[in-house]
Chains A and B, each alone.
Chain A
């Protein structure tokens, strides 16, 4: 009796609840589907854009080989640059990150750099060399391979309505058995690219990276032991082991750009540690980082600068001049450069962060210094101060001028340059005029301002 009465009331309620739940579920399902389709469409767009751009890239590379007039060469090469760049950006939008596709991406980026460098050069003065033609020719061939393979994958995607969302799940599951046409297609491309012989990209591109690698690996001197690294690290920060100070030394793997021990000094009373890298050869401190939380600011930027300079002198870096300064979050960060015969040596810069509460050095980075420092003979400038000034855009108001050694943009070799501080429409720029040829080497936009400017601390 009672059961009947209850069920008479509850049955319609249950029906309404069921229908409501069903409707809600259906709506959720629809919404999920529409989001999935949106995500899938953005992958599809990136993928079809990629094949389109590679198609065009292949055609443009072919044109670059056929074109004979220099007037046509520049636009063709700038097109190659634009298309390679676009293709690389398409790859970056596809879910391929944890899949070996980086060689292909690297190749696209190299093509962009190579074509840009050649295109912006004055081709009347310096036409394409035989070597560069050779590079273009092989690039044209490689582009054809990639294009073929991509077209095959694209055909499959359209025929079988393959979805990139499935690629994503297949990659996420990391299942060896999962057979995915798209993944296989991209793996084939990557394999092909890996098999290409190393191309000659000319000075400037790989040489810049390689040079750095070599210099870093080539720090010579006596090999030091773990114990010695520990002692060097403790000496560097003026601390002693014991009394709660504990030191860990790590050997590190081979993947690091330079071979160094990682030293961590734990100081429990300050509840923080100091980390640093000490090179395995000759035991130089590459960088240092103190993890202590910085308290209330007590000292001025000027006092901080003096403290930084004192630190550098104490650690054998000699007298250095501030070239850049920044301050944020309770610390001041200075870039110091050595000065030799009145010339600033920018490649030998050292960065020092000073905590504005205690005035102590909070962090230190001498990577550039260690890998560039050498005995230099500074050449005499062939371009006079006044001649250099004439090379600067007349609309720029030059306020300061000095000589400096900088790393040349084109091939990474050091060049002597006139550095001019200039103002244009309220902005400050550093302009570098090659002191030997009078060429404008580089222009750097500077950020200037006081301590509490809106663009400073946020």
Chain B
């Protein structure tokens, strides 16, 4: 009798342990699967740059300043903003560069608050990734509407669309 009891208990214990183990391993498997899946799904790995809101602000500025221009010209305007951030003779953040008094006409007349299109934000992203059609310029102007004489004295790099880009 006793032997049968012992055998029964041993059987139950073994069953519980076994089922517990299989349960555990299946959970582990799930976790592993999840990790593997997220790795496969990982399509972004790059150095942190500016926040999405800063990007939108820049897209606003680019759109306000150059919405009628070719895409290259929009990337160039975004690149000028970034070149100014890097330059010692300008403020050190994108927003300070954009809102510097008298720096951009689109800021002065409120056109910066127009809703930008996809192209403008793409242009900003390209400039952030390193494309700079101006080759390091920090100024640009529209020769048809420029009021400042001084701007003509800057060394010019190239003309894109209606804008002349200069140092």
Contact = CB atoms under 8 A, between A and B. Distances in A.
A363 B155 CA distance: 28
A174 B157 contact: no
Interface stretch (B1-9, B14-22, B60-68, B89-97): B89-97
Interface string A324-336: 1111110011010
A448 B9 CA distance: 52
B46 A93 contact: no
Interface in A167-194: 168, 171-172, 174
B46 A256 contact: no
A273 interface: yes
Given A446-B47, A450-B43, A168 B125 contact: no
Nearest to B103: A97
Contacts of A447: 44-48
Contacts of B89: 102-103, 105-106, 109
Contacts of A428: 45
A329 B87 CA distance: 29
B130 interface: yes
Interface residues of B, number: 56
A291 interface: yes
Contact of B43 (A174, A260, A327, A365): A327
A368 interface: yes
A327 B44 contact: yes
A329 B118 contact: yes
A345 B75 CA distance: 27
A258 B100 contact: no
A203 to B, nearest CB: 16
Interface string A374-412: 000000000000000000000000000000000000000
B158 A250 contact: yes
A445 B47 contact: yes
Nearest to A100: B150
Contact of A172 (B43, B126, B147): B147
Contacts of A171: 102
B96 A89 contact: yes
A318 interface: no
A255 B43 contact: no
Contact of A255 (B90, B96, B166): B166
A449 interface: yes
B88 A106 contact: yes
A85 B91 CA distance: 9
Contacts of A327: 43-44
A363 B91 contact: no
A287 B133 contact: yes
Contacts of B43: 301, 325, 327, 332, 449-451
A329 B151 contact: no
Interface string A81-103: 00001001100111111111011
A255 B156 contact: yes
Interface string B114-141: 0000100110011001111111110000
B44 A450 contact: yes
Given A97-B102, A277-B133, A450 B46 contact: no
Q: How large is the interface on A (under 10, 10 to 19, 20 to 34, 35 or more residues)?
A: 35 or more
Interface in B61-116: 70-72, 75, 87-92, 96-97, 100-103
A98 B133 CA distance: 23
Given A109-B88, A168-B102, A363-B131, A324 B47 contact: yes
A223 interface: no
Nearest to B119: A293
A92 B85 CA distance: 11
A308 B167 CA distance: 33
Nearest to B49: A447
A80 to B, nearest CB: 16
A99 B90 contact: no
A97 to B, nearest CB: 4
A33 B47 CA distance: 47
B70 A88 contact: no
A351 B129 contact: yes
B42 interface: yes
Interface string B14-32: 0000000000000000000
B159 interface: yes
A329 B125 contact: yes
Contacts of A100: 150
B126 A324 contact: no
A327 B132 CA distance: 19
Contact of B70 (A168, A257, A291, A458): A291
Contacts of B125: 328-329, 333
Interface in A315-347: 324-329, 332-333, 335
A327 B155 CA distance: 36
B162 interface: no
Contact of A252 (B38, B100, B149, B157): B157
Given A103-B89, A255-B137, A446 B46 contact: yes
A391 B159 CA distance: 50
Closest 6 CB pairs of A and B: A109-B88, A102-B89, A255-B157, A92-B91, A256-B135, A255-B155
19 contacts: A85-B92, A89-B96, A92-B90, A92-B97, A92-B100, A97-B101, A99-B150, A106-B89, A168-B102, A172-B147, A174-B147, A253-B157, A255-B158, A257-B157, A262-B133, A262-B158, A325-B45, A325-B46, A351-B131
Given A277-B133, A332-B43, 4 more contacts: A326-B45, A329-B122, A353-B129, A446-B47
